[in-house]
Structure 1
Amino acid sequence: MPETPPLPVSRRSVLAAAALAAPGAARRPVVTLLGDSITAGFGLPAAQALPAQLQAALARLGSDAVVRGAGVSGDTSAGGLARVDFSVQRDTDVCVVALGANDLLQGLEPRVTEANLDRIVVRLQARRIGVVLAGLAAPPAVGRSYARDFDAAFAAVARRRKVALYPDLLAGVGRIPRLNQRDGIHPNAQGVQVIAGRLAPAVARALRARA
């Protein structure tokens, strides 16, 4: 039986394969977003959701990081704590912890939210994963005392565990109708773009600290 002639291989494909196989080839850093419906991209196609938009914003800052979404709609800080070990994969360099919105909506005690966030950060640090803790600014409608204690919970964890704090994930977007979906809670694509652009510098700094 005559031999089958080899398929033509382009020079580009050979070079690409060689680069992938080369020992010591650079690995792209990985950022994981551990959160709720906002990081899960509620009501948006994947290309417009926060993971994709944050990756694009980081690229504009010169970072080639891959951003993974690990958001579950409706998740509280307790839910994030229950799944942090398997939702945040071991090759993660930096994890953005963006939980607490549903704690706020449910009126959970801020001390409970603080304790859950603290345990999440401790678990990530034990795995040598960098952390950016994304806080939230409680609206005045929840009451001055509750809002003060809720806002302080994020700062307390960041201070105690010496991690970067991004004070308000919804800064520049929350309660602005044109940047939110019809429910007035979840950002639309334009709102997510604002969030990504504001969050990206903090994440880029955390990545540089890991280099």
Structure 2
Amino acid sequence: MIFSRRLRGLVPVLLCLAATALPAAAADPIRILALGDSLTAGYGLPPGDAFPVRLEEALKARGHHVRVINAGVSGDTADQGFARLDWALAEGADAAIVEFGANDALRGIDPKVTRQAIDGIVGTLTGRGIPVLLAGMLAPRNMGPAYQAAYDPIFPEVAARYGVIFDPFFLEGVVLDPALNQRDGIHPNRAGVDRIVARILPKVEELIGRVRAKRS
């Protein structure tokens, strides 16, 4: 009887020890850095409708313990994004979604400059052991075939070079659709953001899988 009482008294202590023995990482959310321009930042939208917010909500609805960090800056070119990469990583990231290039193409920036910046961003992230999902962009067709030929291969070639997850065109299914864009015809509205999130979700889950593989 004395032994039994002692055993019962030890149960709460053992349970407490078991809980504290769990790896701290198991309780931490996976931090996904969403690094990009206005398409990431949520230009023209209420804060709750921005791509990182809607993506985090969709991932949580599917049971993922994540935090998506909005590191989008409206108007940024790829080169400007590369310049602030260290700042964007200051609070830490387990994975990154990289979305740039629209402003480069709209401004007719030399594709060599864009390529160097995208390569620099992805190379820096992978060099630090951070899994990457690179979102591709396509040049507007009114830029002409020569510009298109130099610009469009940037994203698939950089993705292949570093072995990162690749989404060929961030605005697939949304671009030029008035029902999915704001009045400027360039930036997605909430419905457009949700279309992007639904389409890219499997690739983001693949990204999360790479983080979990690193943690295990």
Q: Which TM-score applies when normalising by structure 1?
A: 0.86
What is the rounded CA distance, in whole Å, between the counterparts of 1:22 and 1:86 in structure 2? Answer: 33
Deviations 1:141-193 (Å, cap 9, x if unpaired)? 11122123211000110111111111100001011111000111110011011
1:1-211 superposed matches below 5 A: 22=20, 24-25=23-24, 26-89=27-90, 91-211=92-212
CA contact (8 A) 2:106 2:140 kept: no
What is the rounded CA distance, in whole Å, between the counterparts of 2:42 and 2:95 in structure 1? Answer: 20
User: SS at the partner of 1:30?
Assistant: strand
CA contact (8 A) 2:41 2:74 kept: yes
Structure 2: which 5+ residue stretches go unaligned? Answer: 1-15
Moved more, 34-43 or 85-94: 85-94
Structure 1: which 5+ residue stretches go unaligned? Answer: 1-17
CA RMSD in angstroms comes to 1.6
What is the rounded CA distance, in whole Å, between the counterparts of 1:138 and 1:172 in structure 2? Answer: 16
Task: Identify the structure with the greater helix proportion.
Answer: 2
Q: Which TM-score applies when normalising by structure 2?
A: 0.84
User: SS at the partner of 1:148?
Assistant: helix
Q: One-letter code of the match for 1:147?
A: Q
What is the rounded CA distance, in whole Å, between the counterparts of 1:120 and 1:100 in structure 2? Answer: 12
C-alpha displacement at 1:137, in angstroms? 2.2
What residue is the counterpart of 1:13 in the other structure? none
Moved more, 59-68 or 70-79: 59-68
What is the rounded CA distance, in whole Å, between the counterparts of 2:148 and 2:186 in structure 1? Answer: 17
What is the rounded CA distance, in whole Å, between the counterparts of 1:74 and 1:89 in structure 2? Answer: 21
Figure out how many residues of one structure are paired with residues of the other and give that number: 192
C-alpha displacement at 1:138, in angstroms? 2.1
The structure with the larger Rg is: 2
Deviations 1:40-82 (Å, cap 9, x if unpaired)? 1101111111011111222233322111100111000110110
Deviations 1:85-144 (Å, cap 9, x if unpaired)? 111245311100101111011101112111111011111122211111101122321112
What is the rounded CA distance, in whole Å, between the counterparts of 1:185 and 1:111 in structure 2? Answer: 24
